[in-house]
Structure 1
Amino acid sequence: MMCLQDDAIQKIQKMNITEKFNVLFNELDHCTEIEQKQKIEEIREIMDEMDEDEIESIFTINNLNKIGKMIEEKNMTLDRAILLSKHIGYCKALTGAWSDHYYDSELSKRFEKMIVEEDEKKEEKNERLLVDLCECHLITSKCFIPDNVIVICMLHLLKAASNKKENEETQKEVEMALVASSNIWYWVEIKQERYINEIKEIIEYHQKRHNLSRFAYQSAWDFLINRFNFDKRLGGMIMNELHFVREAVKELEDLTRCVDWKKKKEEMSREEAKEANVVKRWIRTLKSFFEACNLWNKELAGLVSSVVNVFRVAKDSHREICRRCIHSLKEAAISKSVKIEDLLKSRSMDVVFEELHQPTLSDEINLYCFRFFEGPSRKLEESTDDEIDEAKRKRLKRNVFEKMENEGFEDVIISFEEIFSFLVYKFECTIPGYSTDYFVNV
């Protein structure tokens, strides 16, 4: 019997990480309680080693329905189902994996029904269960959650995230609540009074006491910047009271020092991989910030520079992070809040030129690069900024023109002109269709 068990263990060890997950996951509903507990712990450890593509491969409607069925048939306790579901969602959020299968699953319907029923109880409401269910529900889905359920979840999660006890268990609970809250996507409109005091206090308390993990702190900002897309009134508080730009620059500087960027993803330690994923999330948050921001301050050039620095350290081994950096820089270039001087000072143009000169480029990167140069071109031709006199505008035009000329931009952009219409069709976007629209005329 022992030999058979040893053979099974050796067989699992030889499998790739996704195969190991599938074997253990498929055994969950026909094993003893003790074995099931052990397998769930093994599954959680396996998921901690997975990257974005591997998480997407296991985040299937069949697997989600299987968890729901095990709860229904009492082959798994609700506590264990919650533990497993939360960890799947946590890894999905951390790696940036994208999948909407959860919404169509029986597990989603079960959790949503339980959330509403528990919240409507007048007496003996189980707050811990509510928080757990809300975390499971939000952290595994980005779309299609009804507004009333989002409000219920957000209120309970921000309350949980406001816990100031300083111990490891509380920190993990706070992190999970903030990560789940940050998964409320930017197109969901929520009234300020439902969240503003809580999230502001969470951020300010961390700035004084440093009580949050890096992932939790990034998630708190992610939640707030997502609200910024709908409510531009938040701009003053975000920029001037909570000092988002300064905080984001500091976090990215600290995080980039924690990672050996020469290593590929599969060579990194678990902690390094987590920090690299948090960097990737910050870059996504900055992209959303540049989209929404309509205020300028002198620190913005430093924020754009921080994205450039991440691109520099990641360019050899982490192309997905580089792609996100170019996307973020594109949003900065076309943003009304970022000035031409900020783009020049940050050396963001150098990075985009480097990408355009690559022998092979994805269509998506091409699109971002073209949109980037559309930004300064339009700003210099159409700017109504009264702070820039005509002499200064001419100097800026000359500086940008010389930069483009030195990099051979005209030849590059002309060589791509034939694919402009294809990119417009493929990405359903609007970009200038003629190469001259990207040039700066002096």
Structure 2
Amino acid sequence: MSEEVYLKEFRGTIQNHQEHHNLTRLAYQSAWQFLVYGLFNNYSPVEVIANELHLAREAERELEELTRNVDWMRKMVGNRENEMKEELFILRWMRIMKRYFHDFTMWKEGNVELINSLVQIYRAANDNCRDISSECAYPLRNASENRVVNVQDLFEGGAVDTVLEGMQRPTLDDNVMRNCLYFFLNVSKRQKHEEKDETDEAKRNATKMELFEKMEEEGYEDIITGFCELIPYYLSLSENDLPFEDSSYYFVYL
């Protein structure tokens, strides 16, 4: 099947469901998953379709509906089979969003709302659904790298507060910590870069001060001390992990 036909079929399937609601939740999610993860030489047509069919808005709506049916505190004993299905759907949406924030550069709508949905799930899943909270950290990290997402969007969506809180958890695993570190390194580098491009200096300085104040409120000095002890460990994991030249943005620039 040619790429053009492939894209046309998935576009038609998703659009038809949005108009008539004729797919199961699994089928609708799978259609988006195949579209976003399709093997294409040119990603632009996929982005155009995703924008036209409002992937960000649809993902936010689906995640909101799914989270209502999960017992995040694990208080209920019964009905775990259905709840596990909901959690599986959430995990799959997290992986779609990971790819979405990493590869898509044309979309502009729904940044804050979608980030806030990820933040709410990350917070809810921290204690008892570690696999979900771990998956949430990836799209938040990718959002901090994507130039389409403004740094202020990360503040308004609650990502900055949430990542700060999460980094201080005593049970934080290595993968989540790594993504949290990168999140703040990305934010720091982008603010440094925007110094050259930002025409509204007052707005830039206000955003910068807001981040600094939040770091102080959440125990900035303690976090830095902890990171200094962890950095050598992360450097030893693989060549793709935190390089010292990037860590300087976090430890010195702010």
The residue correspondences of 1:271-350 to structure 2 (distance < 5 A) are: 271-350=82-161
Identity %: 37
Q: Which amino acid aligns with 1:310?
A: I
**1:223 and 2:14 equivalent?**
no
Q: Where does residue 249 of structure 2 map in the other structure?
A: 437
Matches within 5 A, 1:57-72: none
Is the Cα–Cα contact under 8 Å of residues 308 and 346 in structure 1 kept in the other structure?
A: yes
TM-superposed deviation, 1:213 = 1.3
Q: CA deviation at 1:255?
A: 1.0
Structure number with higher relative contact order (C-alpha < 8 Å, ≥ 6 residues apart): 2
Quote the residue 1:426 is aligned against: 237
CA positional deviation for 1:231:
3.2
2: CA distance between counterparts of 1:223 and 1:201? 13
Question: For residues 366-381 of structure 1, what are the structure 2 equivalents within 5 Å?
Answer: 366-381=177-192
Superposed, which structure 2 residues align to 1:250-265 within 5 Å? 250-263=61-74
Give, as a single letter, the amino acid of the residue that structure 2 aligns with 1:429: N
SS of aligned partner of 1:416:
helix
Query: Helix, strand or coil: the match of 1:195?
Result: helix
CA distance in 1, matches of 2:41, 2:5: 14
Q: Determine if contact 1:400/1:440 at 8 Å carries over to the other structure.
A: no
Task: In structure 2, give the amino acid aligned to 1:197.
Answer: K
Cα distance in 1, alignment partners of residues 225 and 175 from structure 2: 18
Residue 235 in structure 1 maps to residue 47 in structure 2: yes
CA distance in 2, matches of 1:415, 1:393: 28
Given that 1:229 and 1:291 are in contact with CA atoms closer than 8 Å, whether structure 2 keeps it comes out as no
Q: TM-score, normalised by structure 2?
A: 0.89
* Counterpart contact for 1:374–1:437, Cα < 8 Å: yes
CA contact (8 A) 2:165 2:218 kept: no
**For each residue in 1:273-306, what CA deviation from the matched residue of structure 2 results, as whole angstroms up to 9, or x when unmatched?**
1111101110111011000111352411111111
* Inter-CA distance 370–266: structure 2 relative to 1 (3 Å threshold): farther
Q: CA deviation at 1:388?
A: 4.8
Secondary structure at 1:351's aligned position in 2?
Answer: helix
Report deviation, 1:316: 2.4
- Which secondary structure does the structure 1 equivalent of 2:37 belong to? helix
How many Å separate the matches in 1 of 2:252 and 2:60?
30
Residue 60 (structure 2) aligns with = 249
Which residue of the partner structure matches residue 9 of structure 2?
198
Structure 1: state its 5+ residue gaps.
1-154, 156-190
Q: Structure 1 pair 221/359, CA: closer, same or farther in 2 (3 Å)? A: same
Deviations for 1:132-173, whole angstroms, at most 9, x for unmatched residues?
xxxxxxxxxxxxxxxxxxxxxxx5xxxxxxxxxxxxxxxxxx
- Between the two proteins, the alignment pairs up a number of residues equal to 252
Cα shift at 1:352 = 1.3
- TM-score, normalised by the number of residues in structure 1: 0.53
Where in structure 2 are there 5+ consecutive unaligned residues? none
Q: CA deviation at 1:232?
A: 3.1
Conserved 8 A contact 2:3-2:40: no
Matching of residues 94-109 of structure 1 within 5 Å? none
Rounded to whole Å, the distance in 1 between the matches of 2:235 and 2:97 is 24
- 1:362 matched to 2:173? The reply is yes
Displacement, 1:268? 4.3
**Corresponding residue of 1:113:** none
Q: Tell which structure's C-alpha radius of gyration is larger.
A: 1
- Root-mean-square deviation (CA, aligned residues, Å) is 2.4
The alpha carbon displacement at 1:354 in A equals 1.9
2:220 is the counterpart of 1:412? no
The answer (yes or no) to whether the contact 1:300–1:342 under 8 Å persists in 2 is: yes
3-state SS, counterpart of residue 237 of structure 2: helix
**Cα deviation 1:247-274 (Å, max 9, x = unaligned):** 1111111111122222279854322211
